[in-house]
Structure 1
């Protein structure tokens, strides 16, 4: 029993092969027009319309038989030898292409000549009734033109395939870099938290126990988030709330947090835990060194075509002492993750408002963050 076409659905590379087939047809039609005008000029513009008609009839039939035969043979070979990359991209190999070119040139010339006669009402001499010298000349010209067109389309296709492979390699490299940067985030955050816990143990064992319980709950809640490439903005804010609940065990009323996330932006997607190191820095270098503590604000809003993410604190700002200035790891880590995910389309800026504190803004094009609406999750609330 023969297989039906539906039993062998086209793969994405094969679908692209048929798209290229249509583009090749457009280029072949353009080339036929050029050849027709050239032949008309060589004949002293005697009946130029007839020259163009025959050029189109013969040239397009040659293209249809050669390029169509190429795809059909490659599709059949794909069924017999699944997984072969060349066949997947519609290329059956040069031996089969020679057969396609010879058969397409002979068949295309014969069918095109008959079609041209039907359209113009003329009766041209049949290819097969011509003298041997005329036959050899005609077949040579048609064969060279067909072979040249095939070589052109083959080279163009290989260049396109190479560009696609290079783009895929760049995407894989960017994703790998993103995963490495994300892996660096976890020990950095855990180190800072354990350092805070160590200090608290010597000051207040009861609060240290509470903080340890919060740390365990926080790590359990963020384990899944730290293993995925991205999650909704709503989930990002929820994980930040978990972290700030942990920090409030240590700082008490000295740490006040405010969140602002419009419902329309809650489902937007971004790299998981992207804002985490910025919040850590705001607490460690800005708010905690102050006796009175301060306010940490995390917000999101639309600004033109961008989604603007803001982490601002009322801490020491530029007045931070060298001992609390940090190494800049968190800030650079966020910049690197933005570059790996969005390239130059996204950016980060840092400023120190006149009233004090520090303000960090991240802008990401809204279209790059679009994602299906997430399932129910706790919405951030002011605390």
Structure 2
């Protein structure tokens, strides 16, 4: 039974199973070698006729084809029998070859004599047998060498394919682990500050504390689920952002206003998990919390023919207020690394000024990849 390697179209035979080679493969190999044997036998017949051996091209051709095909058939039967018993070795194959040459030459001469109406006894004269033996030996060795060479090439090709698959699997495993590590990063200050706010609200405003706890619970649950998957819909990601911003809004009060704009044609688009969360956290840290009066964060998705555009806009101080921090933080670096690992140059993250002040973080994703999950779900 063949074993299909996951993530590949290459089938590798299970050597431990010891099962016979499929009949279709045997017939294919036999037909391919039979064509070569027929051509080789014709050349041998032509050569014998050219040097004056035999009574003519027709008779030589019949004898050559009958003997050559008989030997090839016996050789295939013997090799197949050894393969079925998982006993194919070089010494045993050599014995099969000798037996096939002797028996095949005899059977071939009998068949040829019968076809030509010749006296079978005369075809087994010592001189005729010796000449037939030498010709059959050379032809069989050539055919056997050809078959061994093809088998050797096939084995080397299989080994190369297996090595390439193992390397590809290792690279994918390393990439998946790296992406999951990047996805699992949560801003520690966010958790500490939220827990501190929750502690104070438990005493001063229990209903708000319960509301904050519910938002935090939804956010952490969604974050945990996102860290275990390779893609999610924009509707799921926007729901996570809504929970996160709700927690921050309860902490910061009137200093934070936000909006989430997700058109209906974008809800089922597939994107990497937690793609926008680092951008929102960056806007909160360097935009809203850096301004005494606070500000606003707007998250928006737009679907185009070539790209899906995701933007996180804040009304904070902008680049000049916090030199050396915008665009070089760990969160932004993680987003760029993930985009590069998943899409190569087909995706990008850019930061631009938001007039009159603030920053716009814009992510462009290839539309074909984003549409893939939508097509699966709608089917």
* Length-normalised TM-score, structure 2: 0.64
Residue 141 (structure 1) shift = 0.9
- Aligned equivalents of 1:217 and 1:332: distance in 2? 27
Partner residue, 1:196: 190
Q: How many residues align?
A: 333
Q: Is the 8 A contact 1:70 1:97 kept in 2?
A: yes
- Aligned equivalents of 2:38 and 2:161: distance in 1? 31
- Aligned equivalents of 2:280 and 2:139: distance in 1? 77
- Aligned equivalents of 1:370 and 1:60: distance in 2? 57
Residue 184 (structure 1) shift = 1.0
Taking a change above 3 Å as real, the CA distance of residues 372 and 259 of structure 1, as seen in their structure-2 partners, is closer
Taking a change above 3 Å as real, the CA distance of residues 226 and 61 of structure 1, as seen in their structure-2 partners, is farther
Q: Is the 8 A contact 1:254 1:294 kept in 2?
A: yes
- Aligned equivalents of 2:82 and 2:102: distance in 1? 18
Counterpart among 163, 170, 179 of residue 173 in structure 1: 170
- Aligned equivalents of 2:216 and 2:116: distance in 1? 89
Q: Secondary structure at the match of 1:313?
A: strand
Q: Confirm or deny that 1:184 pairs with 2:174.
A: no
Partner residue, 2:218: 217
Q: Which of 1 and 2 has greater Rg?
A: 2
Taking a change above 3 Å as real, the CA distance of residues 223 and 363 of structure 1, as seen in their structure-2 partners, is same
CA offsets, 1:10-43, max 9 Å, x none?
A: 6664499546545534642553465356446645
- Aligned equivalents of 2:139 and 2:370: distance in 1? 50
Q: Secondary structure at the match of 2:349?
A: strand
Partner residue, 2:313: 314
Partner residue, 1:74: 83
Q: Is the 8 A contact 1:255 1:287 kept in 2?
A: no
Q: Confirm or deny that 1:331 pairs with 2:330.
A: no
Residue 366 (structure 1) shift = 5.3
Residues 152-161 or 63-72, more deviating: 63-72
Q: Secondary structure at the match of 1:358?
A: strand
Partner residue, 1:87: none
Q: Confirm or deny that 1:227 pairs with 2:234.
A: no
Residue 148 (structure 1) shift = 0.3
- Aligned equivalents of 1:260 and 1:197: distance in 2? 30
Partner residue, 1:380: none
Residue 139 (structure 1) shift = 3.7
* Length-normalised TM-score, structure 1: 0.64
CA offsets, 1:167-213, max 9 Å, x none?
A: 3202320332133213412441x2x1x32233345667446764454
CA offsets, 1:334-366, max 9 Å, x none?
A: 146427xxxx6x842234568762322233865
Q: Secondary structure at the match of 1:227?
A: coil
- Aligned equivalents of 1:208 and 1:311: distance in 2? 32
Higher RCO (CA-CA < 8 Å; seq separation 6+): 1
- Aligned equivalents of 1:242 and 1:251: distance in 2? 14
How well do the aligned residues superpose, as a CA RMSD in angstroms? 4.9
Residue 137 (structure 1) shift = 0.8
Residues 105-114 or 285-294, more deviating: 105-114
Taking a change above 3 Å as real, the CA distance of residues 57 and 284 of structure 1, as seen in their structure-2 partners, is farther
Residue 166 (structure 1) shift = 1.0
- Aligned equivalents of 1:97 and 1:250: distance in 2? 78
Taking a change above 3 Å as real, the CA distance of residues 97 and 286 of structure 1, as seen in their structure-2 partners, is farther
Q: Is the 8 A contact 1:338 1:347 kept in 2?
A: no
Q: Confirm or deny that 1:145 pairs with 2:142.
A: yes
CA offsets, 1:111-141, max 9 Å, x none?
A: 66677778x8586979982535324413421
- Aligned equivalents of 1:93 and 1:371: distance in 2? 55
| Long gaps (5+) in structure 2 | 5-11, 15-19, 202-207, 251-255, 289-293
Taking a change above 3 Å as real, the CA distance of residues 152 and 200 of structure 1, as seen in their structure-2 partners, is same
Taking a change above 3 Å as real, the CA distance of residues 72 and 136 of structure 1, as seen in their structure-2 partners, is closer
Q: Is the 8 A contact 1:62 1:107 kept in 2?
A: yes
Q: Is the 8 A contact 2:218 2:243 kept in 1?
A: no
